[in-house]
Amino acid sequence: MALLVFQDQHLLFSTKNSILVFRPKLSRSISPPLSLHHTRRNWNHSSESSPPSLCLRASKRGNMNSTKLTAEVGATTLMEFVGKEGEDVGGDLTILVSHLQYACKRIASIVASPIGVEISGGSGDDVGSSSSSAGRDVPKPLDIVSNDIILSSLKKSGKVAVMASEEDESPVWITDDGPFVVVTDPLDGSRNIDASIPTGTIFGVYNRLKELDVLNVEEKALLNSIQSGGRLIAAGYVLYSSATILCISFGSGTHAFTLDRSTGDFILTRPSLKIPARGQIYSVNDGRYFDWPDGLRKYIDTVKQGKGRSSKKYSSRYICSLVADFHRTLLYGGVTMNPRSHLRLVYEANPLSFLVEQAGGRGSDGQIRILSIQPSELHQRLPLFLGSSDDMAELESYDDIQQKINPGYQI
């Protein structure tokens, strides 16, 4: 048995065929056993020195539903979840997830920090600042800082052959023998950041295509990065909001974890999350109403009057931050959409479609299933519709829902 990594309060050991993840017990007060319905609101301030974590412990792979959870002291961390006793995703992917979640915690702390973009990495990995022509450090925008953080973590993982990011014109080749390809939008919704609106990181993971190894670096970097979403082996997002939520799927359900700031762990809070088959919310920038095609206008006019298939009057919610709008849709149901060709297939549409499908919903460009599209270019944009299966079926029945007019909007 060999020690692989000590990171983020976890020890990762390799044995012949597997990776073992250990989390040393922290010296905080042990909470009494809690019921499955225990929430932090039940915490009695007089009897505990710190609030107990949600006490959900997942059983073995295939049993990841809430009825199979047993309540016990402690909680299932993300790193435990991916290990032998949880989804057992394998050693390489465990190490990758460990680095990705660490990067996202760094981003979470920066976006919530008063010093924000002025933060300097100080770790020698060129995060947080760049030099001006006068030689002085100038702050980088937060989406570039986030990009640097993720790239730095992926490099350190040793598990990634290539990273393609919305922030980079071309994919970055990292190492020839990395088993994985990572695509990412490092900080989506960053146009809202000054107003402290929620933002998010989106990522997708593919296997490196070994048959491309013979190509030159540029070609293999690109072709590995534009794999069809149907080939994703994992995808997720991290929402930076009042809570920091990491939602992930390895192809057998979608699972949400909440960052426990007292321990620094992502704790499993919504195992096997299921999107309701129907919601009562539509989410779209309806300032664009007069640029929409007839079908989309009719759909929205119909559901907001309660004249759709469910006969319920729909409400509108639109944050204009994709991860936040998507996360709410996953929890409450309904549809979230951007009908113009704006969002990116590789970095946004594919990972989120993978997650919504794994939660029982659907992702489409208004005509075809997102995960069946073969990207033709890295930064390809398309209309995107994600949501509950019944709502998506109703919306798509209006046919004409893709916005063709795209005049370019100032805000």
Ligand X SMILES: O=P(O)(O)OC[C@H]1O[C@](O)(COP(=O)(O)O)[C@@H](O)[C@@H]1O
Beta carbon of residue 132, minimum distance to ligand X (angstroms, whole number): 25
Rounded Cα distance, 243 and 327, in Å: 12
* CA torsion through residues 102, 107, 113, 118, sign: positive
Question: Environment class of residue 164 by beta-carbon count within 10 Å: exposed (0-12), middle (13-18) or buried (19+)?
Answer: buried
Beta carbon of residue 356, minimum distance to ligand X (angstroms, whole number): 15
Beta carbon of residue 262, minimum distance to ligand X (angstroms, whole number): 30
Per the annotation, the verdict on 143 as an active-site residue is yes
Question: Environment class of residue 166 by beta-carbon count within 10 Å: exposed (0-12), middle (13-18) or buried (19+)?
Answer: buried
Position closest to ligand X via CB: 285
Choice between 18 and 285, CB closer to ligand X:
285
Q: Which of 241, 251, 267 is nearest to 204 (CA)?
A: 251
Per the annotation, the verdict on 187 as an active-site residue is yes
- Subset of residues 186 to 245 that bind ligand X, contact rule: CB under 6 A: 188-189, 191
Count of positions on this chain that bind ligand X (CB under 6 A): 11
Choice between 268 and 352, CB closer to ligand X:
352
Residue 117 dihedral angles phi and psi, to the nearest 5°: -70, -15
Per the annotation, the verdict on 176 as an active-site residue is no
**How is residue 314 annotated by DSSP?**
P
Beta carbon of residue 342, minimum distance to ligand X (angstroms, whole number): 5
Per the annotation, the verdict on 219 as an active-site residue is no
Non-local (6+) Cβ contacts of 243 within 8 A are 258, 259
Choice between 82 and 226, CB closer to ligand X:
226
Choice between 155 and 381, CB closer to ligand X:
381
Binding mask 156-195 for ligand X (x = CB under 6 A): --------------------------------xx-x----
Q: Which stretch binds ligand X (CB under 6 A): 129-137, 250-258, 318-326, 356-364?
A: 318-326
Per the annotation, the verdict on 167 as an active-site residue is yes
Q: Which stretch binds ligand X (CB under 6 A): 32-40, 226-234, 252-260, 320-328?
A: 320-328
Considering the rule CB under 6 A, would residue 321 count as an interface residue with ligand X? yes
Choice between 191 and 312, CB closer to ligand X:
191
Binding mask 249-288 for ligand X (x = CB under 6 A): ------------------------------------x---
Active-site entry in 166, 260, 365, 391: 166
Both tokens assigned to 210:
């070994």
Among 11, 172, 320, 393, binds ligand X (CB under 6 A): 320
Active-site entry in 80, 87, 148, 185: 185
Beta bridge partner(s), residue 239: 200, 245
Per the annotation, the verdict on 348 as an active-site residue is yes
CA distances from 75 to 43, 54, 58 (A): 16, 6, 9
Per the annotation, the verdict on 394 as an active-site residue is no
Choice between 258 and 338, CB closer to ligand X:
338
Rounded Cα distance, 259 and 244, in Å: 5
Helix 91-111, helix 142-157: angle, nearest 10: 160
Rounded Cα distance, 82 and 59, in Å: 12
Per the annotation, the verdict on 137 as an active-site residue is yes
Considering the rule CB under 6 A, would residue 404 count as an interface residue with ligand X? no
Q: Which stretch binds ligand X (CB under 6 A): 61-69, 248-256, 296-304, 314-322?
A: 314-322
Rounded Cα distance, 311 and 74, in Å: 44
Binding mask 108-147 for ligand X (x = CB under 6 A): ----------------------------------------
Active-site entry in 167, 365, 390, 391: 167
Secondary structure (3-state) at 381 = strand
Do 351 and 235 meet the contact criterion of CB atoms below 8 Å apart? yes
Considering the rule CB under 6 A, would residue 338 count as an interface residue with ligand X? yes
CA distances from 68 to 16, 38, 61, 64, 108 (A): 30, 16, 11, 7, 31
Query: How many residues does this entry show for the chain?
Result: 411
Among 246, 322, 335, 371, binds ligand X (CB under 6 A): 322
Q: Which long-range contacts (CB under 8 A, 24 or more apart) does 209-213 make?
A: 209/181, 213/176
Rounded Cα distance, 29 and 50, in Å: 7
Active-site entry in 72, 118, 137, 213: 137
Interacting residues toward ligand X by CB under 6 A: 188-189, 191, 285, 320-322, 338, 340, 342, 409
Question: Catalytic positions, please?
Answer: 137, 143, 166-167, 185, 187-188, 348
